[in-house]
Amino acid sequence: MPNSNGMQLLLCYNNEGVYVSTYGKATKSVFLQWGETPSSVAYISTGQIMGWGNKAIEIRSVDTGHLDGVFMHKKAQKLKFLCERNDKVSSLSLSADINGT
């Protein structure tokens, strides 16, 4: 995690997350409870984290774990890019026709 000198990690298992030190001890009293199990989690420079799963992308506060926003989607496999800039999150979905039709 940023601002931790590499000494803090977000450990996620199923739909739960906890902050731990590199020694495995809890570093925050914050406990994350995702709405669905995320397949990936990423830090956003605004002090938030994104977790995306099969049906939704959740944005949560790093400090409190509070749910700040949810993007619902139908097909995660079509999600190619998820970007954050100037406090805004955007996604780009691409669908290529490999048969040329």
pLDDT band of 101, cuts 50, 70, 90: very low
- 15 contact partners, CB below 8 Å, separation of at least 6: 33, 34, 35, 36, 37, 38
pTM of the model: 0.68
- 3 contact partners, CB below 8 Å, separation of at least 6: none
Residue 97 lies in a domain: no
Residue 22 lies in a domain: yes
Residue 95 lies in a domain: no
The whole domain housing 64 covers 8-85
**Whether 100 contacts 86, CB under 8 Å:** no
pLDDT 10s digits, 55-86:
888 999 988 999 999 988 876 555 555 666 66
Greater confidence (36 vs 79) lies with: 36
Q: What is the pLDDT of residue 95?
A: 47
Residue 33 lies in a domain: yes
- 66 contact partners, CB below 8 Å, separation of at least 6: 60
Query: Hey, is 77 helix, strand or coil?
Result: helix
Q: What is the pLDDT of residue 5?
A: 64
Q: Is 50 exposed, middle or buried (0-12, 13-18, 19+ CB in 10 A)?
A: buried
Residue 99 lies in a domain: no
Mean pLDDT of the chain: 77
> In this structure, what CATH number is given to the domain that contains residue 35?
2.40.10
Q: Provide the domain count of the chain.
A: 1
